[in-house]
């Protein structure tokens, strides 16, 4: 072996031993999304992942599993236990683990404002302790929920209506006279077509994804609550990453929060146009409708976790 080769090998070995300029390997994060890329609440995460993989190249790469690899309701446990490194999904999917997560859907503040006043830090602390995950950020600010119906609403009530529901607005619908029905989203179209249900609760985005707009006549205003789809990282994996790798992900989370309003507004305009073109009419039940929905859900969450929810309520309401 030539002397120069021996010297090069020795120098390389010394760099490793002495902590020389050896670059850390790229942290590859295996991720799952609760919805596929083309779905209304799937594409923002996939779009952000592409930005991360571009901006954090050489430090972090996120590989999203094929849709259906892990069922949506199984993803929270998968990220908690380290089966996957990251997930994108709403807090209501793991409400049994962190009931306080659903307070985000009632927040008056944006995620950026929550970051500034300490609310996001407290929410992340709860996620660390109860679920073994780092709560990086979420999207959904400014996307309200609505009640959609096939029949005309009279006197601001739903007496005689069967409405497909979810836990977050179950109590409110029942108080307004509705019979609530639990149906998986893929089954709602047929239920509407056959008249098994007279309506459903859903955000302003996505009713055309399932073809529901074809059997929808009315949208109740004002919207209430707001969408929250969080980005969670397994805490053990997060701690093993370098400062630079964590820093790049935090930086990209902040960038996402900055560009989110433009992403949201552009997509919302298209979604409302789809509803308008389908002949869906807005029916305004007044501000009391929204207030009652929020009051009822705050009460339910506070009963489940009094101290934490009271603290979050003070932080999340203006």
pLDDT tens per residue, range 185-197: 889 999 999 999 9
pLDDT of residue 23: 53
Query: Beta 218-221 vs 145-149: how paired, if at all?
Result: antiparallel
* Region at 68 (left for phi over 0; alpha for psi -120 to 50; beta for the rest): left
Q: What's the whole-number mean pLDDT along residues 135-156?
A: 96
Tell whether the model's pLDDT for residue 303 goes beyond 80: yes
pLDDT-wise least confident of 11-25, 94-108, 161-175 = 11-25
Residues 83, 216: one domain? no
Cα-Cα end-to-end distance for the chain: 73
Nearest by Cα to 157 from 172, 176, 180: 176
95: Cβ–Cβ under 8 A, 6 or more apart, which residues?
Answer: 101, 102, 167
pLDDT of residue 3: 43
Reported as a pLDDT band with limits 50, 70 and 90, residue 169 is: confident
Residues 116, 233: one domain? yes
Number of Cβ atoms within 10 Å of the Cβ of 35 = 21
Q: Of 3-12, 66-75, 251-260, which has the strongest mean pLDDT? A: 251-260
Q: What's the whole-number mean pLDDT along residues 103-109?
A: 97
pLDDT of residue 21: 42
Residues 183, 54: one domain? no
Residues 91, 156: one domain? no
**How far apart (Å, rounded) are the C-alpha atoms in residues 311 and 317?**
11
Q: What's the whole-number mean pLDDT along residues 199-212?
A: 96
pLDDT-wise least confident of 24-28, 227-231, 257-261 = 24-28
Q: Is residue 8 part of a domain?
A: no
37: Cβ–Cβ under 8 A, 6 or more apart, which residues?
Answer: 43, 46, 67
Residues 59, 196: one domain? no
The enclosing domain of 291 has a CATH number of 3.40.190.170
**How far apart (Å, rounded) are the C-alpha atoms in residues 135 and 231?**
6
Residues 162, 88: one domain? no
Residues 136, 153: one domain? no
Burial class (CB in 10 A: 0-12, 13-18, 19+), 177: middle
Q: Is residue 6 part of a domain?
A: no
Task: Classify residue 108 by its DSSP letter.
Answer: S
Residues 286, 211: one domain? yes
Look over the chain and give the mean of its residue pLDDT values, rounded to a whole number: 92
Q: Give the bridge partners for 146, in sequence order.
A: 202
| Bond before 222 cis per omega within 30 degrees | yes
Residues 68, 134: one domain? yes
Residues 131, 220: one domain? no
Residues 161, 306: one domain? yes
Tell whether the model's pLDDT for residue 212 goes beyond 80: yes
Q: What's the whole-number mean pLDDT along residues 20-38?
A: 84
State if pTM tops 0.85. Answer: yes
User: How many domains would you assign to the chain?
Assistant: 2
Q: Is residue 300 part of a domain?
A: yes
pLDDT of residue 168: 83
Tell whether the model's pLDDT for residue 80 goes beyond 50: yes
pLDDT of residue 118: 97
Domain coverage including residue 185: 145-225+275-313
Edge-to-edge strands, sheet with 133-139? 60-64, 27-33, 86-89, 229-234, 133-139
**How far apart (Å, rounded) are the C-alpha atoms in residues 210 and 193?**
12
């Amino acid at each position: 072996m030539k002397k120069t080769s021996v010297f090069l090998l020795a120098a390389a070995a010394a760099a490793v031993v002495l902590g020389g300029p050896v670059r850390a390997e790229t942290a590859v994060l295996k991720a799952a999304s609760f919805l596929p890329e083309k779905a209304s609440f799937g594409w923002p995460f996939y779009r952000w992942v592409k930005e991360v993989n571009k901006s954090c190249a050489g430090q972090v790469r996120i590989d999203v599993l094929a849709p259906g690899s892990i069922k949506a309701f199984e993803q929270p446990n998968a990220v908690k236990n380290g089966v996957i490194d990251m997930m994108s999904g709403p807090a209501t999917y793991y409400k049994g683990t962190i009931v306080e997560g659903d307070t985000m859907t009632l927040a008056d503040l944006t995620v950026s404002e929550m970051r500034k006043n300490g609310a996001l830090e407290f929410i992340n602390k709860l996620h660390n302790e109860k679920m073994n995950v780092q709560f990086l950020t979420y999207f959904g600010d400014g996307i309200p929920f609505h009640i959609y119906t096939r029949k005309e609403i009279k006197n601001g009530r739903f007496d005689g209506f069967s409405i497909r529901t979810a836990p977050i607005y179950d109590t409110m619908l029942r108080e307004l006279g509705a019979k609530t029905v639990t149906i998986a989203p893929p089954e709602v179209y047929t239920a509407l077509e056959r008249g098994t249900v007279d309506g459903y609760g859903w955000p302003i985005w996505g009713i055309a994804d399932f073809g529901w707009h074809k059997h929808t006549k009315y949208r109740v205003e004002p919207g209430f609550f707001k969408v929250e789809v969080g980005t969670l990282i397994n805490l053990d994996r997060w701690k093993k990453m370098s400062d630079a790798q964590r820093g790049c992900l935090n930086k990209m989370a902040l960038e996402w929060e900055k560009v989110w309003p433009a992403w949201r507004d552009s997509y919302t305009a298209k979604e409302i146009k789809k509803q308008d073109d389908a002949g869906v009419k807005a029916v305004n039940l007044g501000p009391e409708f929204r207030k009652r929905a929020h009051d009822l859900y705050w009460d339910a969450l506070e009963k489940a976790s009094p101290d934490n929810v009271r603290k979050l309520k003070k932080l999340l309401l203006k």
